[in-house]
Structure 1
Amino acid sequence: MNEVYPSPAVRREVIKLTVEEIFKYTKRPGRKNLEVVAHNIVNKYPKSFEDNIDGVRIGNGIESLTNQLVYKVENETRKERKWLKEFKLAKVNPEDETCKKWLQNEFITSSCMQNRSKVKEYMDRTFNERQDDISKKTLVSILHSKWPFMFEEEFIYSDYEKIVNLSDCKTKLIEVLNERSIRIFKILKHLNQSKPIHIQRIVFKSIKDECELLENQLPKKMRFLEVLADYFSENIDHVYKTFPVHKSLEEIVEIIPNTPFMIIMGNSTATADKFVVCIERLTVAKFSNFWEAFSYMFVCFYVLNMQYPHHAAATYEFVQRFCAELNFSKTKLKTKASPKVLTLVKAMKRYDSVL
């Protein structure tokens, strides 16, 4: 096995069997222990579990294998909680149940927009039931099957607006991201001058080279999130990542995080025209525009009551406060503000009038 890179199906089976064996001893192994398990597996079969794209090694595979083990443990324990709760079923409004069944049938059988107004009405009426399912940590794959219209762009934003108590969020967020991206890039470049020169060069030289290659400023606009993550010493690979266009989605989803994630099919963020949003490794939406895809992915954290990934938390929180403008005096959200994000927001306002 050491010289053979397993197929996605075989890799999933290895993960499944490993977790089953772990569960014989504990249901709560913790990430540190799972990392030890992953380390032992990779040490024994380095060639089989290394991260590679088209035969090019991009990592030893320990982190991606650890993440898969963590996701599998979380999913299995979540399923267990779901089965336990079935013995204590909450009362369901008969009318809501009728709406839900109609929506499921409509999604399967309808091929036109003639019942769209009714879909909107029923989706609005069943909002609380969907939120109840989400509060029970229902798997996204089950939500997708139970509420097939839920992940359509229109209804994701509709649910998001109810949660944050704002309106016209899609248009406003995409416009702000487009309008402020270059400005944020310039300010971050100025602020990053306090960092060691070798750190500055890595991301900014890459963007400068791409601007010269394309003969436009688009990379500065499209890659400001990369600069933002670099400023916070975070990893943009926990938000999105580019992959060769010939790479299959089945292969890609095996090595991406479980949290909302954007797969970019192409050579770079600035030139790609295919963006895939996955949640718990399930493809939920596809876009041809980067900001539309990112905006959709961002609101999914709120609709699905998910935490930002640890390695990109400040990056997302900055977007939340400075771009989505979710401050807690205007919304129903209750979250402690990150000091380093607030410091950057204040710096943005201070430098904004200068640059």
Structure 2
Amino acid sequence: MEEKRLRMAELHSECGSAAADKAEVDSLLKSTYCLQRRTINADPAPAIRDLRAQWPLLFVQKSLYSHFELLTGVPIRKMEQAVEERGRLIIDYFKSKATNDVVKKVLGTHGEEEVAALIIELLMAHFKEKTEDLILKTEETASAANIERTLDLAESPRLIILGERLSGQKWMVGIEGQVVCEGVQPTFSSGLAALFVCYYNFNLQYQEGAACTLEFIQRNFFRINPERGSKAGRGKVIRKRTGQLVQKKALAINPHVCSLMKKLTEFEWDFI
């Protein structure tokens, strides 16, 4: 498997991201999957920079998707189908029951955005999360190197949109202060999918500032519903009664996400 890993690094050196389209690479990635997981799950966990140096093709959009499907058994198209099937319901729910002023503003100012882009804006507004905790915007002509110099890229994953609108623009994904993936299709849905699978592929926790939105995507679009555990960090809170800083309780599902899912189901049944 190490020889196969070196072969893939050689192909990437020769062909760049285009190497991922070779039939040989598809076979090499599948046959070295267990070594990939062993490297990713090492303790201590490897830095993304080091992981990318060893497995550069794992950070190409096509390979990101393939690895996720091997890891979870969930096809990427499941998200696209869910957005198509449930997207209008989610938008109609917020139009009917705008939950705060920010949601109303999003509904009142959005243009001809993709459904997926509008849904994410609405979800983040509903959960009172800041868009920049998940999505960053930069100049349409910016290069990866320029983005790394000029944008404050966080440790946790960010979807970087090249342009003012969320839809119809080129995109990249940044992790740990560097651009790790440059998208092929200029669609918000493909960028959102690439961003999301990074949490699973590279064993990363959801950042606290976007944890509700990410868990909603996980449970409603990808239908990943574990009975135990969560990819949201537990964090710490101040106990009201004593004023002590304590660890949050581990929950099977975020209560804010659970509440919205229940309300969406009730809203859907009202029209049946």
- 1:324-345 CA deviation, whole Å, 9 max, x = no partner? 110126xxx7432111111111
* Aligned residue number for residue 176 of structure 1: 82
From the superposition, tell whether residues 122 and 315 of structure 1 become closer, same or farther in structure 2 (CA, over 3 Å).
same
Note the 1:9-88 alignment, pairs <5 A.
none
Matched residue pairs, number? Answer: 243
| 3-state SS of paired residue (2:224) | coil
* Aligned residue number for residue 106 of structure 2: 203
Say whether the 8 Å CA contact 2:20–2:57 is kept in structure 1. Answer: no
1:219 deviates by 5.8
Amino acid at match of 2:77: T
* Aligned residue number for residue 225 of structure 2: 327
Note the 1:1-355 alignment, pairs <5 A.
96-110=1-15, 116-136=22-42, 137-164=45-72, 166-167=73-74, 169-193=75-99, 195=100, 198-207=101-110, 210=111, 218=113, 221-246=116-141, 249-253=144-148, 254-270=151-167, 272-280=168-176, 281-287=178-184, 288-328=186-226, 334-335=229-230, 336-354=252-270
1:170 deviates by 1.6
Instruction: Compare the two structures and name the one with the higher helix fraction.
Output: 1
Taking the aligned partners of 1:291 and 1:155, their CA distance within structure 2 comes to 17
Scaled by the length of structure 1, what TM-score is found?
0.62
Say whether the 8 Å CA contact 1:185–1:221 is kept in structure 2. Answer: no
| 3-state SS of paired residue (2:57) | coil
Taking the aligned partners of 1:293 and 1:204, their CA distance within structure 2 comes to 22
* Aligned residue number for residue 13 of structure 1: none
Amino acid at match of 1:352: E
- Percent identity between matched residues is 21
RMSD across aligned C-alpha pairs, in angstroms?
A: 2.6
1:274 deviates by 1.2
Gaps of 5+ in 1: 1-95, 211-215
From the superposition, tell whether residues 224 and 113 of structure 1 become closer, same or farther in structure 2 (CA, over 3 Å).
closer
Say whether the 8 Å CA contact 2:83–2:221 is kept in structure 1. Answer: yes
Taking the aligned partners of 1:125 and 1:133, their CA distance within structure 2 comes to 14
Say whether the 8 Å CA contact 1:188–1:228 is kept in structure 2. Answer: no
Taking the aligned partners of 1:101 and 1:285, their CA distance within structure 2 comes to 22
Taking the aligned partners of 2:195 and 2:135, their CA distance within structure 1 comes to 10
1:181 deviates by 2.3
Gaps of 5+ in 2: 231-251
1:246 deviates by 4.8
Say whether the 8 Å CA contact 2:153–2:175 is kept in structure 1. Answer: no
Taking the aligned partners of 1:157 and 1:222, their CA distance within structure 2 comes to 20
| 3-state SS of paired residue (2:9) | helix
Say whether the 8 Å CA contact 2:65–2:197 is kept in structure 1. Answer: yes
Taking the aligned partners of 1:219 and 1:182, their CA distance within structure 2 comes to 11
Taking the aligned partners of 2:200 and 2:191, their CA distance within structure 1 comes to 15
Which has the larger Rg? Answer: 1
| 3-state SS of paired residue (1:277) | strand
Scaled by the length of structure 2, what TM-score is found?
0.79
1:283 deviates by 3.3
1:205 deviates by 2.1
